[in-house]
């Protein structure tokens, strides 16, 4: 009986150690964002770490493109896939960190002005796709104790080492961590982009749609 109690407590401890963190209630998105089907990632993945690089100057543009209170917004079509991916990672002690989500057209225009190379920055056009449609995310991993894992490069590293399936110049740990991230995201039906290990597309990300009007806050 004592042995059974010990095993039961150990099991419960293991479950609680990977359960989502208790999060504060998420404020509703703006009426415009709601009408365009956008959701705050924290209402989908409560333990998500939101580290929007374009809300800071720590990005390749070297300037803030989003307001400091920017939110990670994604189209509702990505919700189930992101829940599945987060659950898969959570079960093995990892959490998702979101570097970018919905990206307004004006921000895309500014990025292309700085790096006018479609191999690295999508050329802005008359229609919204991918980030501009809220149907792509840029993510990395963090472990439960708060430490980032080795992914081989940082965000927006415009070198061959940033390719999703790159191996040259990368540690075995980085290659394995990228594979772990891809596996979880693909389990949720989210597609990796071969040119950037951090970029994943949701359903219909490549379909031309009208530009969204929502702000990121």
Active-site residue list: 196
d(CA 24, CA 145): 20
Tally the C-alpha atoms within 13 A of residue 216's C-alpha that lie toward its C-beta.
Answer: 26
The answer to whether the beta carbons of residues 173 and 95 sit under 8 Å apart is no
For residue 136, the surrounding DSSP H or E stretch is strand 136-143
The answer to whether the beta carbons of residues 144 and 93 sit under 8 Å apart is yes
DSSP 9: H
């Amino acid at each position: 009986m004592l042995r059974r109690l010990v095993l039961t407590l150990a099991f419960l401890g293991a479950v609680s150690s990977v359960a989502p963190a208790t999060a504060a209630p998420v404020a509703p998105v703006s009426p415009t964002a709601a009408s365009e089907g956008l959701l705050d990632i924290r209402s989908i993945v409560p333990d998500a770490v939101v580290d929007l690089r374009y809300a800071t100057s720590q990005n390749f543009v070297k300037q803030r493109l989003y307001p400091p209170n920017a939110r990670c917004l994604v189209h509702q079509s990505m919700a189930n896939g992101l829940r599945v991916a987060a659950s898969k990672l959570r079960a093995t002690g990892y959490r998702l960190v979101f570097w970018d989500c919905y990206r307004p057209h004006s921000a895309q225009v500014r990025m292309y002005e700085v790096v006018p190379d479609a191999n690295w920055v999508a050329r802005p056009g008359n229609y919204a796709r991918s980030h501009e449609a809220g149907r792509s995310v840029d993510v990395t991993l963090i472990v439960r104790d708060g430490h980032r894992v080795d992914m081989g490069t940082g965000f927006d590293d415009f070198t061959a080492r940033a390719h999703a399936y790159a191996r040259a110049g990368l540690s075995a740990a980085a290659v394995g961590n990228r594979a772990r991230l891809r596996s979880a995201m693909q389990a949720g039906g989210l597609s990796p982009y071969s040119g950037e290990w951090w970029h994943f597309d949701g359903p219909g990300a490549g379909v031309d749609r009208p530009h969204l009007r929502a702000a990121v806050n």
